[in-house]
Amino acid sequence: MSEPAPPGTALVDVEYHLFQITDPQGPVADDLDASHTGLVSADGGGIEVTTGIHTGEVYVTVEPHSKWPDPAPGWEEIAEISCHSPSRELLVTSFTDDPADLPSLASDGPGSYRLRVQARGRDRAVDQTTVDEVVESYLIQSWPAAHQDALLVQATDAYGAQSRAQQADDTIVIDHEDSLDTQTGQERDILRRAERGDYS
């Protein structure tokens, strides 16, 4: 077993509430095997991490490990998911697949890995597309492990609860103009609920 790369931290671009974990040589996850934890899921062959902000930057730290690590303290939301790296390049990328300046999460070359994603700050600027400061942070720990079902380890933020309450294919992305404090936002909310048959 090779020695894991040292941890790294970088700013990662977010679009449409997402950044990704991918391998340039092929799919890392089976979409049919994913659970909707409200934080991390499999989609399109990649792993998607759900952010509170719609567009902007978040801090991401990656910690490749050679064996199961203890969860780090001080995080609001924690979830785990399994993936497979066809190469040894299991990379954090933006929504447009541009890799972040972070080490690979595949600490032991090609094979199966477990990812623990930990988040903080997702409730601070939900849906905003312009954020003056970076308000969200993520820690992704990885280690070689056989496949297991996705697992929600800790759930304390409101954004995760909202995300889990919605069907994955029924998620609506709104911007700051859709706030229920505005007449436009209230009208759009009524239309959305009517489309779903919710007339309450």
- pLDDT at 1 exceeding the cut of 60: no
Q: What is the pLDDT of residue 66?
A: 93
Give tens-digit pLDDT for 103-139. Answer: 999 988 999 999 999 999 999 999 888 777 899 999 9
Torsion (CA) 83, 88, 94, 95 in degrees, nearest 10: -50
d(CA 68, CA 54): 32
Give tens-digit pLDDT for 9-67. Answer: 999 999 999 999 999 998 888 765 556 799 999 887 889 999 999 999 999 999 999 99
d(CA 110, CA 83): 11
Give tens-digit pLDDT for 169-200. Answer: 443 333 444 445 555 556 656 665 565 566 55
Is the pTM value of this prediction over 0.85?
A: no
Q: What is the pLDDT of residue 79?
A: 94
List domains and CATH numbers for the chain: 8-165 (2.60.34.30), 167-200 (no CATH)
Give tens-digit pLDDT for 78-95. Answer: 999 999 999 989 999 997
64 membership: H or E segment, kind and range: strand 56-64
d(CA 66, CA 45): 24
Q: What is the pLDDT of residue 29?
A: 85
Q: What is the pLDDT of residue 78?
A: 96
46-50, 71-75, 140-144, 168-172: lowest mean pLDDT where?
168-172
Q: What is the pLDDT of residue 128?
A: 83
Tokens of 40: 């991390």
Bridge partner list, 143: 114
Q: Which residues contact 71 (CB under 8 A, 6 or more apart)?
A: 78, 116, 118, 141, 153, 154
Q: What is the pLDDT of residue 163?
A: 87
Q: Which residues contact 53 (CB under 8 A, 6 or more apart)?
A: 14, 17, 125, 126, 127, 128, 129, 131, 135, 136
